[in-house]
């Protein structure tokens, strides 16, 4: 007869292996990116920058571990596919982007580093999704990690835009919206209240894309403070209105889901 924990160990071992592999690759790619960045940075990355990158690495690795754990709970062990490797590369860009939280807005060629890193973390989202579908390699792990990295990119980007004084503080609502939304659903389930499945919406996806564009514009050296602020506010209002609509939908208060 098998030992009581035999199957648990068989699940935990590949889970740990995936996490160690993910951690190693993210750390290595982030390190190479920082070294490449130092070539253009007068004086090189400072200690506060490196501290920010370490904090970013910790957040990314925690999200990776949580994602692997959740995917194990709902699916059998899955390999890390080519699409997931692309997602891991996107996560590495976020680690370096986090370093800029602790330093002033850079000048010269390095001023383009934050928007470039944000663009890598977001635009390559289309590539990992395409690869997963084209290679028939859609997985629970890859799908979950893709969503989490998208959310972290928007959070990190909005934090940095506000940190540099480009976007108003209320723009942070864009970065925290998804986390508040998910937290609200967990709270409703904890209270045994109904949570309805969110409907399909092209508008939701479009507004998410516009939010990423607004963050990129805010982080870029051009077009300047005024227009960056205008774009951020113009996107903020419909973005939050749509999130409010989605919350009413999943909580059963929207006419489409209302039982009354």
Kindly give the confidence (pLDDT) of every residue in the chain, 260 residues in length, as a single tens digit, with 9 standing for 90 and above.
344 443 344 455 667 788 888 889 899 999 999 999 988 888 778 899 999 999 999 999 999 888 888 887 776 667 778 888 888 899 999 999 999 999 988 888 899 999 999 999 998 877 777 776 776 767 777 788 889 999 999 999 999 999 988 888 999 999 999 999 999 999 999 989 888 888 877 888 888 889 999 999 999 988 777 888 888 888 889 988 988 888 888 887 766 665 54
| Domain edge (last residue) among 164, 179, 210 | 164
Based on the fold, state whether residues 146 and 41 are members of the same structural domain: yes
Domain finish residue from 146, 164, 182: 164
Same-domain check for residues 172 and 157: no
The confidence score (pLDDT) of residue 77 equals 66
Is the same domain home to 60 and 160?
Answer: yes
| Same domain (yes/no): 225, 112 | no
Contacts of 175 (CB under 8 A, 6+ apart): 154, 155, 156, 157, 158, 159
pLDDT score of 255 = 67
Alpha-carbon distances, residue 68 vs 4, 16, 21, 30, 59 (angstroms): 23, 9, 12, 20, 14
On whether both 5 and 130 belong to a single domain, the answer is: yes
225 and 99 together in one domain: no
CA distance to 26, 100, 113, per residue, from 94 (Å)? 10, 10, 11
The number of folded domains in the chain is 2
Together in a domain, 20 and 149: yes
Say yes or no: 53 and 12 in one domain: yes
Whether 78 and 36 share a structural domain: yes
* Claim to verify: residue 19 and residue 145 sit in the same structural domain: yes
Q: Residue 15 sits in which domain range?
A: 1-164
Q: Do 31 and 117 have their domain in common? A: yes
- For residue 109, the model assigns a pLDDT of 87
């Amino acid at each position: 007869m098998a030992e009581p924990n035999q199957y648990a160990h068989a699940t935990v071992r590949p889970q740990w292996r995936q996490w160690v592999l993910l951690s190693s690759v993210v750390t290595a790619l982030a390190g190479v990116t920082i070294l490449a960045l130092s070539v253009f940075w007068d004086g090189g990355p400072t200690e506060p920058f490196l501290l920010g990158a370490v904090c970013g690495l910790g957040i990314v690795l925690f999200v990776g571990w949580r994602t692997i754990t959740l995917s194990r709970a709902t699916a059998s062990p899955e390999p890390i596919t080519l699409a997931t490797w692309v997602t891991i590369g996107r996560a590495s860009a976020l680690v370096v982007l986090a370093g800029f939280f602790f330093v002033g807005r850079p000048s010269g060629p390095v001023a383009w580093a934050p928007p470039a890193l944000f663009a890598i973390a977001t635009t390559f989202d289309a590539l990992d999704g395409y690869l997963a579908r084209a290679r028939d390699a859609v997985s629970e792990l890859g799908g979950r990690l893709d969503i989490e990295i998208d959310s972290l990119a928007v959070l990190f980007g909005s934090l940095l835009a506000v940190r540099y004084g480009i976007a108003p503080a209320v723009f942070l609502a864009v970065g925290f919206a998804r986390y508040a939304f998910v937290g609200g659903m967990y709270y409703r389930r904890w209270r045994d209240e109904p949570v309805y499945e969110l409907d399909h919406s092209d508008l939701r996806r479009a507004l998410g894309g516009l939010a990423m564009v607004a963050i990129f514009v805010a982080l870029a050296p051009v077009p300047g403070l005024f227009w960056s602020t205008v774009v951020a506010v113009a996107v903020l209002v419909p973005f939050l209105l749509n999130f409010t609509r989605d919350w009413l939908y999943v909580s059963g208060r929207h006419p489409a889901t209302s039982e009354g």
